A and B are shown apart, each in its own frame.
Chain A
Amino acid sequence: MEKKTYTITSSEGLHARPCSMLVSAVTPFKSEVTITYKERTANLKSIMGVMGMGIESGAQVEITADGADESEAIAKVDDIMKKESIGE
Chain B
Amino acid sequence: MMNFIQRIGKSLMFPIATLPAAALLLRLGQPDLLNIPLIAAAGDGIIGNLALIFAIGIAMGFAHDNSGGAALAGAVGFLVLTSALKAVDESINMGVFGGIISGIVAGVLYNRFYNIKLPDFLAFFGGRRFVPIVTAAAMTALAGVLFFAWPPIQSVIDSIGNWVLGAGTLGVGAYGFLNRLLIPTGLHHVINTVVWFDFGSFTDASGEVVKGEINRFLKGDPTAGPFLSGFFPIMMFGLPAACLAMYAAAKKEKKAIVGGMLFSIAFTSFLTGITEPIEFAFMFLSPVLYVVHALLTGASMIVSYMFDVHHGFGFSAGAIDYVLNYGLAQNPLTLLVIGLVFGVIYFVVFYFLIVKLDLKTPGREDDEDLVEDTAVYSDDIVEVKAYHTIEALGGLDNIQAIDYCTTRLRLTVKDSDVVNEKELKRYGAMGYMKISKTNVQVVIGTAVEFLAEAMKRRMTNGNPAPKTEESMELDTQPHNVKALPESDFHMPIDGDIIDLSEVPDDVFAKEMMGPGFGIMPKGKTIHSPIDGKVVSVFPTNHAIGLETDTGVEVLIHVGLDTVKLNGKGFELLVENGQLIQRGDALLNIDLDYIKANAPSVVTPVIFTNVEKANLHILKKGFQRKGTDSIVKVDE
- Which residues of A line the B interface, CB within 8 A? 12-13, 15-17, 19-21, 24, 46-49, 51-54, 56
Contacts and interface: CB of A to CB of B under 8 A. Distances in A.
A56 B567 CA distance: 14
A12 B608 contact: no
A26 to B, nearest CB: 14
B563 A12 contact: yes
B87 to A, nearest CB: 66
Given A19-B513, A46-B609, A52-B535, 8 more contacts: A24-B512, A47-B608, A48-B536, A48-B609, A49-B535, A49-B536, A51-B555, A54-B538
A87 B547 CA distance: 28
In the complex, the 8 A-B pairs of residues with the closest C-beta atoms, listed nearest first: A52-B536, A47-B608, A20-B512, A20-B513, A17-B507, A48-B553, A12-B563, A48-B545
A52 B539 contact: no
Nearest to A18: B507
Nearest to A13: B563
Contacts of A54: 536-539
Contact of B555 (A12, A24, A47, A56): A47
18 contacts: A12-B563, A12-B564, A15-B538, A16-B508, A16-B513, A16-B543, A16-B557, A19-B513, A46-B609, A47-B609, A48-B535, A48-B555, A48-B608, A49-B535, A49-B536, A51-B536, A52-B537, A53-B536
A21 B555 contact: no
Contacts, number: 54
A25 to B, nearest CB: 11
Contacts of B564: 12
A15 B545 CA distance: 12
A74 B547 CA distance: 28
Contacts of A46: 553, 608-609
Contacts of B608: 46-48
A47 B536 CA distance: 10
B203 interface: no
Given A12-B563, A48-B547, A52-B545, A17 B535 contact: no
B332 to A, nearest CB: 93
A53 B536 CA distance: 7
Contacts of A13: 563
B576 interface: yes
A59 B126 CA distance: 55
Interface string B541-570: 001010100000101010000011000000
A51 B564 CA distance: 16
Most interface-central of B538, B553, B555 (chain A CB within 10 A)? B538
Contact of B539 (A16, A19, A56): A56
Interface residues of B, number: 21
Contacts of A48: 535-536, 545, 547, 553, 555, 608-609
Contacts of B535: 48-49, 52
B273 interface: no
Contact of A51 (B508, B543, B547, B609): B543
Contacts of B277: none
B257 to A, nearest CB: 60
A34 to B, nearest CB: 16
Contacts of B512: 17, 20-21, 24
A47 B553 CA distance: 9
B492 interface: no
B538 A47 contact: no
Interface in B575-629: 576, 608-609
A24 B576 CA distance: 25
Interface string B502-529: 0000011000111000000000000000
Nearest to A17: B507
Contacts of B563: 12-13, 15-16
Nearest to B538: A54
Contacts of B536: 48-49, 51-54
A51 B608 CA distance: 11
Contacts of B609: 46-48
Nearest to B534: A52
Most interface-central of A21, A24, A47 (chain B CB within 10 A)? A47
A47 B539 contact: no
Nearest to B557: A16
A15 B563 CA distance: 8
A49 B538 CA distance: 12
B575 to A, nearest CB: 12
A76 to B, nearest CB: 16
A16 B507 contact: yes
A20 to B, nearest CB: 4
A29 to B, nearest CB: 17
Contacts of B553: 46-48
Contacts of B555: 47-48, 51
Contacts of B543: 16, 51
